[in-house]
């Protein structure tokens, strides 16, 4: 068709500083199709993992993503425990849930902040990131690190939550509840934000099911799924909380769902710390027998799924990682169709895409890394030179 044009977005996202390439095919202002190119940041985790032992792998998968750096190790150790038929002690379950929910709060606040930034409300951005800081400080207190917490190991957790830390965590939960309530009201009551987000980038329930999306991409479209409730693990079946399901499927519903989930997370953390059982924090795993194991958990963005095939040695034969964004980003193809170019960037960001999660490989040739950081710099300089010569 003659009046079709291509609007390229990327390889750097205009809003999120991660590499991917969206080719918007437009007719006038309307987006009629979308092609997605990935692979700028693929690092080969599934390739490397079978060379490591079960104790080492959590450290590798933790580095799949800085935001979900608890979800991947958690799903991974759940897979190892599923294969070995070992259950962690109750105290470890409660600690895992606590850290996991802290991660959800910081991830959702990060997204809310970015969403504010995307639509030109930098105040929302600064607020959200300021309150996120309290959560990162809690992480530092509990785990020793603001990111990459290294809490999970096959059979349990590496560190305990000490009794004297609990009042501090609860105090921060009070602050988070209060501030997020203020933020939620500010976002949802603002007529300008509402009209900017309402009806934009709608993903219908049928589309959400066809693309098998999960997490805060699926639940705002009326798909009532949450791995924490559906396939209970950690302490999620022992503390009270609700799954937030909305029906509109637009960007506003996605923002609402994330904000409301923060309150559920603080509720889970309070309940976990109140009922924290006494006892050991890890079960011993002597060997991982030949067989298979599946571990899954609800990351801030949706289901994280790890599959392990064991041959009875201390290393897996195959380790498959499924990150939520892998399925969620693919649904952009239907969510942006029919919308305007101005809405596209917002819609593409609304699934909270995580490209580090989606791509896990690097360009290897004969077992050697083909392009190092320096090579990429050299290529970039050479290209700049070529452009200069042409000018």
Choices 14-22, 169-177, 340-348, 362-370 (CB under 8 A): range interacting with another protein: 362-370
- Which of 5, 130, 274, 318 touches another protein by CB under 8 A? 318
| Residue 363 engages another protein in binding (rule: CB under 8 A) | yes
Closer to another protein by CB, 250 or 303: give it. 303
Does residue 326 bind another protein (CB under 8 A)?
yes
- Using CB under 8 A as the binding rule, whether residue 292 contacts another protein is answered as yes
**CA distances from residue 161 to 95, 154, 281, 368 in whole angstroms, order as listed:** 7, 18, 10, 42
Residue 8 vs 232, nearer CB to another protein: 232
Q: How far is the CB of 286 from another protein (least distance, A)?
A: 19
Report the C-alpha dihedral over residues 229, 230, 233, 235, rounded to 10 degrees.
20
Kindly state the tokens that stand for 27.
């007719």
User: Does the footprint of another protein cover residue 85 (CB under 8 A)?
Assistant: yes
Instruction: Between 51 and 198, name the residue whose CB sits nearer to another protein.
Output: 51
Compute the least distance from the CB of residue 14 to another protein, in Å: 22
Query: Between 175 and 317, whose beta carbon lies closer to another protein?
Result: 317
Among 257, 256, 360, 252, which residue's Cα sits nearest to residue 302?
A: 257
Output DSSP code: residue 300: T
- Give the integer Cα–Cα distance in Å for 43 and 359: 7
- Site residues (CB under 8 A) for another protein, limited to 330-349: 330
Distance from first CA to last CA of the chain, Å, rounded? Answer: 33
Output the CA angle 370-371-374, nearest 5 degrees. Answer: 145
Nearer to another protein by Cβ, of 10 and 39: the residue is: 39
364 lies in the site for another protein, by CB under 8 A: yes
- CA angle, 136 as apex, 134 and 139 as ends, to 5°? 115
Give me the least distance between CB of 39 and another protein, in Å please: 4
Q: Does 365 bind another protein (CB under 8 A)?
A: yes
Radius of gyration of the chain (CA): 22
Nearer to another protein, 156 or 295 (CB): 295
Check binding of 59 to another protein (CB under 8 A).
no
Phi, psi (deg, nearest 5) at residue 58:
-55, -35
Q: How far is the CB of 237 from another protein (least distance, A)?
A: 10
Q: Is 369 in the site for another protein (CB under 8 A)?
A: yes
Find the part of the chain contacting another protein (CB under 8 A) among 157-165, 193-201, 265-273, 361-369: 361-369
Return the SS3 of 91.
Answer: helix
Rule CB under 8 A: is residue 82 a binding residue for another protein?
A: yes
Give the Å distances, CA to CA, from 124 to 151, 221, 272, 371. 31, 24, 30, 39
Which among 169, 172, 175 has a CA at the least distance from the CA of 273?
169
- DSSP 8-state class, residue 196: H
Element (H, E) at 9: strand 4-9
The CB density around residue 135, as the number of other CB atoms within 10 Å, is 25
The interface with another protein within residues 165-194 (CB under 8 A) comprises: none
Nearest Cα residue to 273 out of 99, 112, 114:
99
The C-alpha atoms of residue 291 and residue 89 are separated, in whole angstroms, by 23
Of the residues 10, 19, 39, 199, which one makes contact with another protein according to CB under 8 A: 39
Among 27, 29, 51, 198, which residue interacts with another protein (rule: CB under 8 A)?
51
Q: Does 294 bind another protein (CB under 8 A)?
A: yes
Query: Distance (Å, rounded) from C-alpha 21 to C-alpha 12?
Result: 7
Q: Which is nearer to another protein, 6 or 210 (CB)?
A: 210
Closest distance of CB 154 from another protein, Å? 17
Q: What is residue 155's three-state secondary structure?
A: coil
**Rounded Cα distance, 240 and 137, in Å:** 26
Between 181 and 369, CB nearer to another protein: 369
Chain positions 192 to 211 lying near another protein, rule: CB under 8 A, are 209-211
Binding residues (CB under 8 A) for another protein: these are 38-39, 42, 44, 46-47, 51, 82, 85, 209-212, 214, 225, 227, 230-232, 291-294, 296, 303, 305, 307, 309, 317-318, 320, 322, 326-327, 330, 359, 361, 363-371
């Amino acid at each position: 068709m003659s009046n079709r044009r291509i609007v390229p977005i990327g390889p750097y996202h205009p809003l999120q500083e991660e590499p991917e390439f969206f080719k918007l095919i437009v007719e006038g202002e309307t987006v009629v199709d979308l092609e997605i190119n990935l692979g700028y940041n693929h690092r080969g985790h599934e390739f490397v993992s079978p060379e490591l032992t079960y104790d080492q792998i959590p450290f590798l998968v933790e580095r799949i993503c800085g935001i979900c750096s608890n979800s991947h190790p958690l799903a991974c150790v759940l897979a190892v425990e599923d294969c070995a038929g070992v259950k962690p002690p109750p105290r470890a379950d409660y600690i895992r849930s606590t850290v996991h929910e802290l991660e959800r709060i910081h991830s959702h606040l990060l997204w809310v902040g970015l969403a504010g930034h995307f639509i030109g409300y930098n105040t929302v951005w600064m607020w959200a990131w300021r309150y996120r800081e309290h959560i990162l400080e809690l992480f530092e207190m509990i785990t020793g690190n603001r990111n990459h917490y290294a809490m999970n190991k096959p059979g349990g957790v590496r560190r305990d939550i000490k009794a004297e830390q609990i009042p501090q965590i609860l105090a921060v939960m009070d602050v988070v509840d209060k501030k997020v309530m203020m933020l939620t009201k500010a976002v949802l009551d603002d007529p300008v934000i509402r009209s900017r987000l309402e009806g934009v980038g709608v993903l219908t329930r049928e589309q959400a099911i066809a693309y098998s999306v999960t997490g805060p991409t699926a639940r705002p479209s009326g798909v009532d799924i949450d791995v924490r409730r559906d396939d209970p693990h950690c302490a999620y079946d022992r503390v009270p909380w609700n799954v937030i399901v909305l029906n509109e499927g637009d960007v506003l519903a996605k923002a609402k769902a994330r904000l409301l989930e923060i309150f559920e997370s603080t509720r889970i953390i309070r309940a976990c710390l109140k009922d924290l059982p006494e006892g050991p924090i890890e079960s011993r795993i002597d060997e991982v027998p030949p067989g298979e194991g599946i571990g899954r958990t609800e990351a801030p963005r949706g289901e994280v799924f790890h599959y392990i095939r064991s041959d009875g040695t201390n290393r897996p034969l195959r380790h498959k990682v499924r990150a939520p964004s892998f399925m969620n980003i693919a649904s952009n193809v239907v969510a942006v169709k029919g919308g305007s170019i101005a809405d596209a960037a917002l819609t593409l960001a609304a699934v909270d895409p995580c490209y580090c999660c989606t791509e896990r490989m690097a360009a290897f040739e004969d077992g050697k890394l083909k392009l190092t950081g320096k090579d990429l710099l050299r290529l970039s300089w050479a290209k700049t030179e070529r452009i200069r010569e042409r000018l």
